[in-house]
């Protein structure tokens, strides 16, 4: 058995095409505020890609690049100004933040109606209640990918490896909302392989390169690899996922790294930005 590749590009392209049409239907273009503190190379790259993608679908974007030594008070003051600006549809604060800033306080400060990352406690509570309009981008993008490739979710056994607030926990909530039977596991789960082998859908977001090996996967399972790890192989830097490439010989479907879930995350951010703009337009 060789797994069917589940690339993110065709799914993201379909979602972004729909986003472009929704932008055109609005009375004015949405505006996305991207806030970055410091010069972390990964953060710089992520913000640049989000800014570029916004322009491609007709969303206006503005990048607020603050110095590394920015105080928490200064960052909160910026967020307050963006919250109060009626022209701003969505606000994204790129994580991680420098040590002097309390991330929880910053996420709490963002207006839930403009929280296009879906991290505000109000939106998290709405997600668990099945009523959220702004869900975290990576888990929501994974659901889009499963739907695009006609992977059944209702009634399936789903295992999520990883318990982060960004991917693991919200992924479990969204799968539960689609009537899957969900187990959340992690690197300290006893006999992890026995748990993962039960999964019809296996979502791996544990942050360890090639952590899930072939013997840990149920034959025919759909495996979603969220990991992005940069390692050196044979003297060359390579990007690999949390899933060992040998899993392709066991699974029924497997997302590639790169070219898989990462593309869905950015596409879903654009969709969330338009959703926020639509909701704000209705409230006017």
Question: Residue 43 annotated as binding?
Answer: no
181 bridge partner residues: 157
- Please, are residues 266 and 9 in contact by the beta-carbon 8 Å criterion? no
Provide CB contacts within 8 A for 154, sequence distance 6+.
Answer: 178, 179, 180
Question: What residue spans of the chain are helical by DSSP H?
Answer: 9-25, 41-56, 72-84, 103-109, 121-128, 137-148, 168-177, 192-196, 261-283
162 is in an annotated binding site: yes
Give the span between the Cα atoms of 203 and 184, in whole angstroms: 10
Task: State yes or no: is 50 an active-site residue.
Answer: yes
- Displacement of CA 273 from its chain's centroid (Å): 14
Catalytic one of 53, 94, 111, 210:
94
Q: Is 242 a catalytic site residue? A: no
**Pairing relation of β-strands 60-66 and 90-93?**
unpaired
Q: Does 101 appear as a known binding residue?
A: no
With 0-12 / 13-18 / 19 or more C-beta atoms within 10 angstroms meaning exposed / middle / buried, residue 138 is buried
Q: According to the annotation, is 164 in a ligand binding site?
A: yes
Pairing mode, strands 229-233 and 181-185: unpaired
Length of the chain: 284
* Catalytic (active site) residue 56: no
Marked catalytic residue, from 50, 53, 114, 218 = 50
**Catalytic hit among 53, 114, 115, 117:** 117
Closest CA to 45 of 34, 60, 32: 34
Catalytic residue numbers? 50, 94, 117
Q: Residues annotated as binding site for NADP(+)?
A: 162-164, 228
């Amino acid at each position: 058995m060789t797994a069917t590749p589940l690339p993110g590009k065709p799914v993201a392209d379909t979602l972004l095409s729909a986003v472009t049409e929704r932008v055109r239907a609005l009375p004015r273009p949405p505006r996305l505020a991207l806030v970055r503190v410091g010069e972390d190379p990964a953060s710089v790259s992520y913000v640049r890609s989000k800014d570029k993608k916004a322009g491609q679908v007709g969303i206006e974007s503005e990048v607020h690049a603050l110095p590394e030594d920015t105080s928490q008070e200064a960052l909160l003051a910026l967020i307050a100004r963006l919250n109060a600006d009626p022209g701003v549809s969505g606000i994204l604060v790129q994580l991680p933040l420098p040590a002097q800033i309390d991330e929880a306080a910053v996420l709490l400060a963002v207006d839930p109606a403009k929280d296009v990352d879906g991290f505000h406690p109000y939106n998290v509570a709405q997600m668990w209640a099945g009523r959220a309009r702004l869900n975290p981008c990576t888990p929501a993008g994974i659901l889009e990918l499963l739907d695009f490739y006609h992977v059944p979710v209702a009634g399936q056994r789903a295992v999520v490896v990883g318990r982060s607030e960004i991917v693991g926990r919200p992924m479990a909530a969204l799968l539960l909302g689609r009537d899957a039977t969900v187990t959340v596991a992690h690197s300290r789960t006893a006999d992890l392989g026995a748990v993962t082998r039960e999964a019809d859908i296996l979502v791996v977001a544990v942050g360890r390169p090639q952590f899930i090996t072939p013997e840990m996967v149920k034959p025919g399972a759909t495996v979603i690899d969220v990991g992005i790890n940069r390692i050196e192989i044979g003297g060359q830097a390579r990007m690999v996922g949390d899933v060992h490439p040998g899993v392709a010989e066991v699974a029924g479907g497997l997302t590639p790294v790169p070219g898989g879930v990462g593309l869905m995350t950015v596409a879903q951010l654009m969709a969330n930005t338009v959703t926020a703009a639509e909701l704000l337009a209705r409230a006017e």
